[in-house]
Structure 1
Amino acid sequence: MGWIEHAVWWHVYPLGFCGAPIREEDPAPAPRLRRLLHWLDYAIELGTNGLLLGPVFTAGTHGYDTLDHFAIDPRLGNADDFDELIAACRARGLRVVLDGVFSHVGRSHPDLVRALREGRGAPGAGRFDIDWERREPRVFEGHDGLARLDHRSEEALDYTTAVLTHWLDRGIDGWRLDAAYSVDPAFWREALGRTRERHPGAWFLAEVIHGDYGAFAKASGVDAVTQYELWKAIWSSLADRNFYELDWSLRRHDRYVGDVGLNTFVGNHDVTRIATTVGPDGALAALAVLLTVGGVPSIYYGDEQGFTGVKEERLGGDDAVRPAFPDEPAQLAPWGERLHRAHQDLIGLRRRHPWLHSATTEALTLTNTEYTYRVSGGGEHLDVALAGTDVRILDADGGVLWHS
C-alpha cells in the first residue's frame, strides 16, 4: 500500500458541503452529491490526491445517525450519483475514503425499531445492544438518538464486514472508522481481517481521540489513527504562546511514527476552525507544522480558504464548521487566496520531500515564543523556524524554501 505514503487528503463533510438539509422533516431527495464533481480539479490543483468523505449513507440528521449503510442518503442522491463521483475521481487519480459509523446507528434505524417492537427473535435484533428487560437500546455516550451495536455478537460482525466489503467492491480505497475508540479492538481486528481477504489493499483509519495510539493499532489491525494530540498541541501552542507544548507533543508523535500511520490535521468536522482559534497568520503557522512532520495529512475543506466557524455544544452547534460550498470554485470569495496559495506551496514542498511521511523531529532552539525543529528522514532534513506566527522553512544548506 505504498500510495498512502504520498497521500494528502481533502476532507469534506458532504451533507454540509453540498447544502443538504440537516434537520428538516421529510426533505426532498436531490442529487446534491454531484456538486462535488465541480470541485475535483480544485482538489488536485490544491495539491491533494484523495477525498476523505464524511457520511454519505442514509441517515436521520447529521449523517452519524445512520439508517441504512447500504444506500446513499437521498438528500445527496443515489447509487448512480455515487458511482459517477467515484468514476470521476478514478479518472483524475484521486483516492476515496468513506466515513463509516459502526459504533452505533440512529435510534430510528428500521431494524432497531422492529427489534424493539417484536423482541429478540426479530430479524437483525442480535446486531443491537439492547436492554431487553427495559426494551431499550443502550446509547452512545449519552446521546439518546444514537443506539449502540452489540460488538460481542456475530450479527454485528457480519453486518459490519458486509458493509465494508460492499463499498470497497464499488470502488472506494478505504474507510474512516468513526468512534473506533469506543469499540473493542478485537472486533475491528476480526472485521478488518475478513474484509482484507477480499480487499488486501484497503486502508483503514480509526478515529482515536487519546491513549496509546500504537497499542490500539496493534490490537485492532487498523492502518492509521487520528492524531488528536498533535492537533491540540499545534493550535494551543500558538494560541497560548507556549511552544514547549508543541515540542513535547512532537517528541511523543515521533514515538508513534514508526509503529502506526498517523492522520495529522489542524481542522475537521468536529472542531472549531483553525483560523478562528489562532487567526489567519496562526493558521499559516499551523499549516506549516502540519505539512513538515511525519504522518498522513488531511486538509479540512474551507481551511484552505481561511474559513472561520465555532464548534458549539448545542443542537446545530456543528453547522458553522460544516458549511455549504458554492456551486463551483470561481464563486469563492477572493479573500481566501493568501491561505489557498500557502496550501498549494506547502503541499508542493511536501511532495518534493516525500520522506516527510515518516520523518522525525528534534528541537534546535526552544522558548515559549520561538521554536526551531529539524525534521529528518531518508538521510535528508529540513529546519522549521517558528517565531510566534512567523515561519521559515530552510533546506539543509540554510536556504529559505518557504516563509510566511
Structure 2
Amino acid sequence: MSEPDWVEHAVWWQVYPLGFVGAHPEGRENGRLQRLTAWLDYAVELGASGLLLGPVFASESHGYDTLDHFRIDPRLGTDADFDALIAAAHDRGLRVLLDGVFNHVGRGHAAFQAVLEQGRDAPTASWFRLTWPAGGSGPGYDNFEGHDALVALNHAEPAVADYVTEVMTHWLRRGADGWRLDVAYGVPAEFWATVLPRVRAEFPAAYVVGEVIHGDYAEFVQKSTMDSVTQYELWKAIWSALNAANFFELSWTLERHNTFLDSFVPQTFVGNHDVTRLASKLTDERHVPLALALLCTVGGTPSIYAGDEQGFQGVKEDREHGDDAVRPAFPAEPAGLAPYGWPLYHLHQELIGLRRRHPWLHHARTRAVHLTNEQFAYEAADGSRKVIVALSVGAAAAELPVPYGKSILNGTAELRRAGSADAAVILPANGWAVLEA
C-alpha cells in the first residue's frame, strides 16, 4: 500500500464549497471561502480529521467546468481567502483535500479558447480530441458524457500531463494535503501513472484518491499508482440492503471489500455531493444509524458529506440543476442549524469517536457471524483486535449470536452470556449495537 501513514487516522468531512457558501446556483460573488472557517470547529467536534473540499477553482457554473486551475473561483474569493482557510484548518489539525477535475475543462478554458480562435495552428490543439469538418467550421470535440460544455482532454498528449502535474504541485505547495481526482475512471490509468510519481517526488506524503464507480478497483489503483478509489459498490450495498431487508447482498459486498483491502484501502462513504442524501435514499429513516455504524466499523477511509450528520434530505435528479437539492447553502454558522438535526450529529460524534479510538479499523476485515435477510452480525478484526457489529431491520426485537462479545460499546441492546462462545445480543426493532470482542 502506498498511502501516507497519516491516512490511517483520517475521517473526512466533505463540503461542496460553491453550494455551502451560497455561491451556486444563485451565482453571488460574496460567498467567500472564509465562511467555511466558522464551521471548522464544528468539523473538529464532529470527529473529523480532514476537510474534503469540492471544486474551488475558477469555473463557469458548478465547479466541474473549470476555466482556470490556477485561480480560486471569484465567487469563493481570492488566493488570500484560500490561504486563510488552509491556515485555519491546519491550526485545528485538519488536513485539506482538493477536488481536481482533469478529465475535461469548461469551454471557456484558455487552452480551448485558443483552439476556437486559432484553429489547427493553436499551440494547445493537441490538448483535445478534435475533428475538423470540411468547410472551415469550428472543430468537433469529445466531451464528458454528452455535455458540450465539458471538453474532454487528450490524455495521450505529454503537454496535458505536464499541465496536470503543474496544477497538482502548485496547490500542494500552497498547503493542500492531497487530491480527489474527479472522473478518474474516464482517464487512462497510464496517464495517472505518468503524473503521480512526478507529484510524489516533491510531495511523498500527499494522499490521492480517484473517483471510480465501476470496474476492477484494485487493478485501477495498481495501474494508476493512486492511493485509493471511491467505494461505490459498498455505498450501494448499504442502502440497498437496508431498503430491501436483504443483508445477503451486503455480506457478499463486504467479502469483496475484504479483497480490496489486500492491496489498498478504499475511500468509503454513505453520502456525497453526487448522490441522493442518505436520509432520502433510505425508505426508513430509522436505518440511518445502521448505515453510519457500518461506515464507522468496516475497513476504509470514511467521509461524511456535510449535512448528512444533521439528517439533511435531498434527492438528486437527472436534469439540469438536478444536483442543487443535495448541494444546498448552509447557515453562516452552526448555530443557525435546525434543532432537530443535533441528535444525529451527536450519534456521529459517538461512532466517529469509536473509529478514532480504534484506528486499526482502517485496515479491518469483516467476517459474518450471523446472517439472515433481516439480521446481520459481523466481526471486524485486525489481528487480535476485534469488534462485533449487530444489525436488525426487523419490526420486532431479535436475538443475534455474538460469540465472545464482552460488552456493548455503542447502541441500545441487551447482552446475554457476555464473553462466552454462546454470547447473544437482544436488539430492539430496527436496532444496532457495536460490541467489544
Q: How far 1:394 moved relative to its partner?
A: 7.7
State the Cα distance separating 1:31 from its structure 2 match: 5.1
Cross-structure match for 1:242: 246
Looking at structure 2, the residues matched to 116 and 152 of structure 1 have their Cα atoms a distance apart, in angstroms, of 21
Distance 1:313 1:31, change over 3 A: closer
1:311 and 1:321 in contact (8 A); partners too: yes
1:320-356 Cα shifts (integer Å, max 9, x gaps): 1001110001111110012101100000011111110
Unaligned runs of 5+ in 2: 412-431, 433-437
**CA 1:347/1:394 → structure 2, altered by over 3 Å: closer, same or farther?**
farther
Q: Does 1:119 align with 2:124?
A: no
C-alpha distance in 2 between matches for 1:28 and 1:372: 49
Partner residue in 2 for 1:30? 30
1:357-372, aligned counterparts within 5 Å? 357-372=362-377
Is residue 19 from structure 1 mapped to residue 22 from structure 2 by the alignment? Answer: yes
Mapped pair 1:220 → 2:228? no
Displacement of 1:396 in angstroms is: 5.5
Secondary structure, counterpart of 1:294 in structure 2: coil
Distance 1:123 1:76, change over 3 A: same
Whichever of the two has the greater Rg, that structure is 2
Residues 33 and 76 in structure 2, CA contact (< 8 A), matched pair in contact too: yes
Query: Residue 135 of structure 1: which of 126, 132, 139 is its match?
Result: 139
- Determine which of 267, 273, 298 is the counterpart of 1:269: 273
* Aligned equivalents of 2:220, 2:149: Cα separation in 1: 27
User: Which stretch has the larger CA shift, 274-283 or 34-43?
Assistant: 274-283
* Residue of structure 1 in register with 2:177 after alignment: 173
Aligned pair 1:380/2:385, yes or no?
yes
Contact kept? 2:49, 2:93, Cα under 8 Å: yes
Query: Structure 1 pair 393/118, CA: closer, same or farther in 2 (3 Å)?
Result: farther
* AA of the residue aligned to 1:119: G
CA displacement at 1:393 relative to structure 2 = 12
Q: Are the counterparts in 2 of residues 381 and 396 from structure 1 also a CA contact under 8 Å?
A: no
Whole-angstrom distance in 2 between the partners of 1:379 and 1:183 = 40
CA distance in 2, matches of 1:395, 1:66: 53
Counterpart of 1:82?
82
Shift of 1:378: 3.3
Which amino acid in 1 is paired with 2:206? A
The amino acid that maps onto 1:330 is A
Contact 2:310 2:342 (C-alpha < 8 Å) held by counterparts: yes
Asked if 1:203 corresponds to 2:195, the answer is no
Report if the CA contact (8 A) 1:382-1:396 is conserved: no
Distance 1:49 1:325, change over 3 A: same
- Secondary structure of 1:44's counterpart equals helix
TM-score (norm 1): 0.96
SS at match of 1:30: coil
Cα offset for 1:2? 1.0
1:398 to 398, 406, 417: 406
Structure 1 residues 235 and 124, CA gap change in structure 2 (3 angstroms):
same
SS of the aligned residue for 2:74 comes to: coil
- Counterpart of 2:49 in structure 1 is 49
Q: What corresponds to 2:92 in structure 1?
A: 92
* Equivalent pair of 1:393/1:401 in contact (CA under 8 Å): no
SS across alignment from 1:62: coil
- Give the CA RMSD over aligned residues: 1.7
Encode CA deviations 1:57-110: one digit per residue, 9 max, x unaligned: 001111001010000000100100000000101111100000000000112223
Q: Deviations over 1:141-169 (max 9, x none)?
A: 11111110000001111110010010001
Give TM-score, length-normalised by structure 2. 0.89
How far apart are the structure 2 equivalents of 1:280 and 1:88?
A: 35
> Does residue 348 in structure 1 map to residue 343 in structure 2?
no
Distance in 2, matches of 1:352 and 1:243, equals: 27
- Contact kept? 1:177, 1:206, Cα under 8 Å: yes
Q: CA deviation at 1:372?
A: 0.5
Give per-residue Cα distances to partners, 1:15-68, cap 9 Å, x unaligned.
01111033x6xx553352111000000000000010000000001111001010
User: Is 1:307 paired with 2:315?
Assistant: no
Deviations 1:207-243 (A, max 9, x none): 0001111100000000010000000000000011100
| Pairing 1:104–2:109 present | no
Deviations 1:346-373 (A, max 9, x none): 0001111111000001111111110111
**Structure 2 Cα separation of the partners of residues 143 and 394 of structure 1:** 51
Contact 1:276 1:310 in 2 (8 A): yes
1:2 equivalenced with 2:10 (yes/no): no
Moved over 6 A (4+): 389-395
Stretches of structure 1 lacking an aligned partner (at least 5 in a row): none
Among 225, 237, 242, the alignment partner of 1:233 is: 237
Partner SS state of residue 120, structure 1: helix
SS of structure 2 residue aligned to 1:402? strand
CA distance in 2, matches of 1:193, 1:396: 46
Q: Which amino acid aligns with 1:90?
A: H
Q: Which residue type is aligned with residue 346 of structure 1?
A: L
